[in-house]
Amino acid sequence: MDMDAKIVLALINYDPNATGKDKIDIELLSKLTGIPIIPFFDGDENKCLAYREKILQTIIKTHKNVEPYVRHVHVNYGRIIEASLSKLIRHLKRVPGQDFSIAPRYLAINLLEKDPLVLKLHDPCTVCKKRRCISEREIKNLESLYNDHVFNVLKNARKAYVAGAIKEITGSEPEEMTSRKIDRILTHRIWGIPIFLAFMTLTFYSTFELGKFPMAWLESGVEWLTGILETNMSASFFKDMIINGAIDGVGGVLVFLPNIFILFFFIGILETTGYMSRAAFLMDKYMHRIGLHGKSFIPMIMGFGCTVPAIMSTRILENKRDRILTMMIVPFMSCSARLPVYILLISAFFPEHPVLMLFGIYGFGILLALIISRFFSKTILKQKEAPYIMELLPYRKPTAKMLFSYTWERGKEYLKKIGGVILIGSVIIWLLGYFPRTADYSKDYDTLIENAQTDSIKSMYELQKTSEHHKNSYIGRIGHAIEPAMSPLGFDWKMSVSILAGIAGKEITVSTMGVLYQADEEAHSGSLQNKLKAETYTSGEKKGQKVFDKIVALSFIMFVLIYFPCIAVISAIWKESKRIKWAIFSAVYTTGIAWLVAFAVFQIGKLIV
């Protein structure tokens, strides 16, 4: 199967009429493995000739790719092993003049296992000296992470695949093992789901409650740095860009870094212990009701970390329809990039029940994904489901090194975003708000500020001037252009701009708010949460009213939860589905649903409150 060879299996001396423990569901086994299987009972001569004829016809159909059970299935060795295999396969395919008499995947697996026969027949050193070095490096990394020989890691994955297949086709219980005893509790039909929900509750509780301490330290550090620069730098364009652009933007996102690391740590526990596949097993029967398999639950859980690798992990699904359907619903899983938005608004407007709010947001995303999946499976992606083998990998005791390595590798990507796209995005947003410098003010603010008799009056005029400047800036013009479409949701022009900026990456939503909402009488003191709570409308029929309240905050959270996945996700959907139409469809339909949900939350909320 790893060689991607066309196989027909003749099962000799098996009695199709067998009963009891000897009974095997041959048809199901064919569907699970993608291999035609023909029982061949060497008894009656006439039946023997009929079996031989059936085998011959099946071989011909398989060769012509018209045999219904034929499909490419291979053992999934887990996300980390699969990533190493992908690196080896990509490099092998780039080697000029490479003759793949052996399938690239099979060659890559045997390079990891150091199979002497494969190396003799296809020695990578004869075509690329670097190949041996890359395979050795991957072996070293895997053995360091798993604290075991890579051969044993691959062997355990195969054993899990075989054990799953045997259970599926016979219905018999495997030999009692320690992992089986644990599974009786964790995958129990009654207690399994509550245990999983308890673990997810612990994850959200830790993400919020444990993360708030280092978050407060980072907030203090950002305020301290801002104060130092404010005191020691002379007034200039460069000073404004550093403080109001870079620090207010990046600092607003940086403070949530501990929460991101904690979330990745708990997802790492799910993956490295083998519990991820148990969660998929638990959800299998529920996933079938919405037109998917339990395996689709794995990309959904991975989506809590980052949607891009979650989209890529849909490769574990053999059926193309299942892959596309899973891609369409994975963006509803709240990725780590959305977490800063949730924590910012929950801390500011729902401090009484933060964990319950966070759990509810994630739960609503999952519920919406299930509803959409059910609808799509009955309409645009209607197709008969194909069976698959539920692979329960053996439990592993995660080492501290493996967990911290997992957490750091994913957290590092978030740090790169902060130092790259978020920094650039924050500065661009600030520049759009800074220019043009020449504006027709409604009042002669400079004279009013100069003649102000008290500090409070002076601060009032300064605030009015800054607000009017923002309104007439380039970013203000963009915000006011899209505000009519967003005002039914309770959003002002600054929130609308933040939503628009979030298309590049959801973290930029917070950094944009950090830049736009810093114009108050104490522009450089206090957290962003306090600035949002203090923000008021400066003009129009709502002048003097608070911009944010609980209903507006919840409407904003719902929109961020659902709308347009970031550009990287759209690109990943395009790449994995091989069709740009699915990428465009995902962007359009998620934004449409986001608008409708946020509209309902705001309008109904205003009627109730």
pLDDT of residue 608: 86
Task: Please say which residue of 363, 398, 433 terminates a domain.
Answer: 398
Looking at the fold, whether 33 and 126 belong to one and the same domain comes out as no
pLDDT > 50? residue 355: yes
CATH number at residue 143: 1.10.287.1770
Measured in degrees and rounded to the nearest 5, phi and psi for residue 9 equal: -105, 120
Task: Kindly state the percentage of the chain with pLDDT values over 70.
Answer: 88
What value does the mean pLDDT take over residues 64-72? Answer: 81
pTM exceeds 0.75, yes or no: no
DSSP at 314 = G
The lowest-confidence range among 309-318, 450-459, 461-470 is: 461-470
Looking at the fold, whether 337 and 369 belong to one and the same domain comes out as yes
DSSP at 318 = -
Domain that holds residue 114: 79-174
pLDDT of residue 597: 96
DSSP at 38 = E
Q: pLDDT: is 393 or 246 the higher one?
A: 246
pLDDT tens sequence across 231-289: 888 888 888 888 877 887 777 777 778 888 888 888 888 878 888 778 877 777 777 77
pLDDT tens sequence across 277-329: 788 777 777 777 777 777 788 788 878 888 877 887 787 776 788 889 999 99
pLDDT of residue 128: 53
Q: pLDDT: is 201 or 438 the higher one?
A: 201
CB-based contacts of 594, cutoff 8 Å, min separation 6: 558, 559, 561, 562, 563, 564
DSSP at 84 = H
What value does the mean pLDDT take over residues 52-75? Answer: 85
Looking at the fold, whether 196 and 329 belong to one and the same domain comes out as yes
Looking at the fold, whether 122 and 24 belong to one and the same domain comes out as no
- Do the domain assignments include residue 478? no
- Do the domain assignments include residue 491? no
pLDDT of residue 594: 95
Looking at the fold, whether 148 and 86 belong to one and the same domain comes out as yes
pLDDT > 80? residue 221: yes
- Please count the structural domains in the chain: 3
Task: Please say which residue of 382, 398, 414 terminates a domain.
Answer: 398
pLDDT tens sequence across 555-567: 999 999 999 888 7
pLDDT of residue 523: 40
Beta carbons of 184 and 395 less than 8 angstroms apart: no
What value does the mean pLDDT take over residues 75-88? Answer: 84
Q: pLDDT: is 37 or 43 the higher one?
A: 37
- Do the domain assignments include residue 548? no
Closest CA to 34 of 389, 324, 291, 293: 389
- Do the domain assignments include residue 327? yes
Looking at the fold, whether 50 and 90 belong to one and the same domain comes out as no
Looking at the fold, whether 203 and 300 belong to one and the same domain comes out as yes
Dmax over CA atoms of the chain, in Å, equals 114
- Do the domain assignments include residue 106? yes
Closest CA to 478 of 468, 489, 470, 490: 470
Neighbours of 462 (CB within 10 A): 18
Looking at the fold, whether 133 and 55 belong to one and the same domain comes out as no
- Do the domain assignments include residue 357? yes
The lowest-confidence range among 217-226, 292-301, 326-335, 489-498 is: 292-301
What value does the mean pLDDT take over residues 531-560? Answer: 87
Task: Please say which residue of 17, 36, 63 terminates a domain.
Answer: 63
pLDDT of residue 550: 93
pLDDT tens sequence across 519-528: 443 444 457 7
Looking at the fold, whether 135 and 279 belong to one and the same domain comes out as no
Looking at the fold, whether 113 and 196 belong to one and the same domain comes out as no
Please provide the average confidence, as pLDDT, over all residues in the chain.
81
Highest averaged pLDDT of the listed ranges 61-65, 264-268, 295-299, 595-599: 595-599
Looking at the fold, whether 269 and 376 belong to one and the same domain comes out as yes
- Do the domain assignments include residue 336? yes
Looking at the fold, whether 58 and 87 belong to one and the same domain comes out as no
pLDDT > 60? residue 332: yes
- Do the domain assignments include residue 605? no
